[in-house]
Amino acid sequence: RNLWVLVVGRSPKEHRIGIPEFKYVANMHGDETVGRELLLHLIDHLVTSDGKDPEITNLINNTRIHIMPSMNPDGFEAVKKPDCYYSIGRENYNQYDLNRNFPDAFEYNNVSRQPETEAVMKWLNTETFVLSANLHGGALVASYPFDNGVQATGALYSRSLTPDDDVFQYLAHTYASRNPNMKKGDECKSKMNFPNGVTNGYSWYPLQGGMQDYNYIWAQCFEITLELSCCKYPREEKLPSFWNNNKASLIEYMKQVHLGVKGQVFDQNGNPLPHVIVEVQDRKHICPYRTNKYGEYYLLLLPGSYIINVTVPGHEPYLTKVIIPEKSQNFSALKKDILLPFQGQLDSIPASNPSCPMIPLYRNLPSHSAATKPSLFLFLVTLLHIFFKQSKM
Ligand SMILES: *[C@@H]1O[C@H](CO)[C@@H](O)[C@H](O)[C@H]1NC(C)=O
Ligand SMILES: *[C@@H]1O[C@H](CO)[C@@H](O)[C@H](O)[C@H]1NC(C)=O
Ligand SMILES: *[C@@H]1O[C@H](CO)[C@@H](O)[C@H](O)[C@H]1NC(C)=O
Ligand SMILES: *[C@@H]1O[C@H](CO)[C@@H](O)[C@H](O)[C@H]1NC(C)=O
Ligand SMILES: [Zn+2]
């Protein structure tokens, strides 16, 4: 079956400079159906509120929104009867769990890559996605990267954090705090308690080959995982209450694509420079974030003062300071074009975006190579992980 995406925006068929790309993906586990229904409702809400509701109109005027209600239509079709728990239909037709099927930055993930995964990986290369969420069921929590980890990302302390942890925590809270049940943190009886309805993915349970880590590392796209229902496949009559409880969160989360700073990088002759590295000092990504083919960059940042570092082959890094104001930017990140004081030497910049190798990039980080004896603490943490792993979301 095809994977369908609907795009909502003023210019839905193509990217416009300055308009960030947002996406929602649901139902990659075919038996987790609430997200799939919510995204259909969301599409309806966006297109029928356009021109009537100023918030939605502003959002559509300034954002390109991609919505994939089902990433696993075969799994969905395979479900025999609605079931709250782990069931047939989680995996795709070939019996692969798609949320374990992506390249992994922490260890080799030698599974056979599935057509659905390949399709999503290709899709990620066609747009400069900035922000995303991946909708699941079986728990009630907003979970942020990383899902896998090593010592260098905090695994000894039973967590795995990105250099953008402040932004990810903010994003997860933005969603959870507007969902009256999720924010309580303990609504799914007999399952784990999540303070404020938020967790780091690895702290909950480590997993390999997940989609959110892939988005952040290889697609320059911040993605979180939203677990939206204690019951994976609830009865139809529950659907209106799921929409009522998630509507404000779904909309507010999309608006966060306008956090931080965006702009184009130009050389001294005014030519936009594609594929050059634009990173914030002290939050370097393991695969450096680069401008797209129009020379654009988008950096999700909370209010504060930052140094942006632009690296063009053959030149000293160019540093420039940016202050992200407290005041909301009204459906636009702070706009800051960067004019470099030299000519771009376009021939030295690769014609296509040099992609990072899809191998365990974190394996050789210095702090990871230091051998460690497993402590009793680590042993207990591992036991806990094994325990929680038994209820897969
Ligand atoms: C949104 O865009 C439409 C069409 O370009 C325009 O007529 C309208 O004034 C804009 N609305 C807002 C709130 O910016
Ligand atoms: C996975 O693939 C890598 C690279 O091809 C290889 O070095 C490694 O030994 C493989 N691991 C397993 C468990 O098959
Ligand atoms: C800027 O980034 C480059 C790599 O792209 C790095 O080598 C350099 O140390 C960075 N400079 C600063 C001051 O952070
Ligand atoms: C936000 O931008 C819209 C046009 O896109 C404008 O109509 C509105 O007045 C602005 N609001 C603020 C608070 O600046
Ligand atoms: Zn799931």
User: What's the number of domains the chain is made of?
Assistant: 2
- Ligand in closest contact with the CA of 360: 2
89 and 121 in a common domain: yes
Q: Note whether residue 319 is domain-resident.
A: yes
Task: Kindly name the residue from 227, 236, 237, 279 that is annotated as catalytic.
Answer: 227
Q: According to the model, what pLDDT value does residue 384 have?
A: 47
Q: According to the model, what pLDDT value does residue 100 have?
A: 98
Q: Note whether residue 235 is domain-resident.
A: yes
Ligand 2: which residues within 6 Å by Cβ? 108, 110
Which of 316, 339, 362 is at the close of a domain? 339
194 and 305 in a common domain: no
92 and 67 in a common domain: yes
Please state whether beta strands 304-311 and 277-280 pair in parallel, antiparallel, or not at all (unpaired). antiparallel
Q: According to the model, what pLDDT value does residue 372 have?
A: 40
Q: Which residues pair with 393 in a beta bridge?
A: none
User: Which of 88, 66, 71 lies closest to 79 in space, CA to CA?
Assistant: 88
Q: According to the model, what pLDDT value does residue 383 have?
A: 47
Cα pseudo-dihedral 143, 146, 151, 153, rounded to 10: -100
Distance in angstroms (rounded) separating the CA atoms of residues 232 and 225: 15
Q: Is the CB of 313 under 6 A from ligand 3?
A: no
Supply the pTM of this predicted model: 0.92
333 and 225 in a common domain: no
The low-confidence residues of the chain, meaning pLDDT below 50, are 368-390
Q: Which domain, by its residues, includes 320?
A: 261-339
- Please report where in the chains the tokens 């259909």 appear, as a residue: 40
- Per-residue 3-state assignment (H helix, E strand, C coil) for 312-326: CCCCCCEEEEEEECC
233 and 332 in a common domain: no
User: Which of 322, 283, 326, 281 lies closest to 303 in space, CA to CA?
Assistant: 326
265 and 237 in a common domain: no
Q: Note whether residue 16 is domain-resident.
A: yes
CA-110 nearest atom, ligand 2: 1
Q: According to the model, what pLDDT value does residue 380 have?
A: 46
Q: Is 91 a catalytic residue?
A: no
117 and 19 in a common domain: yes
162 and 114 in a common domain: yes
324 and 244 in a common domain: no
Please state whether beta strands 198-200 and 64-68 pair in parallel, antiparallel, or not at all (unpaired). unpaired
217 and 69 in a common domain: yes
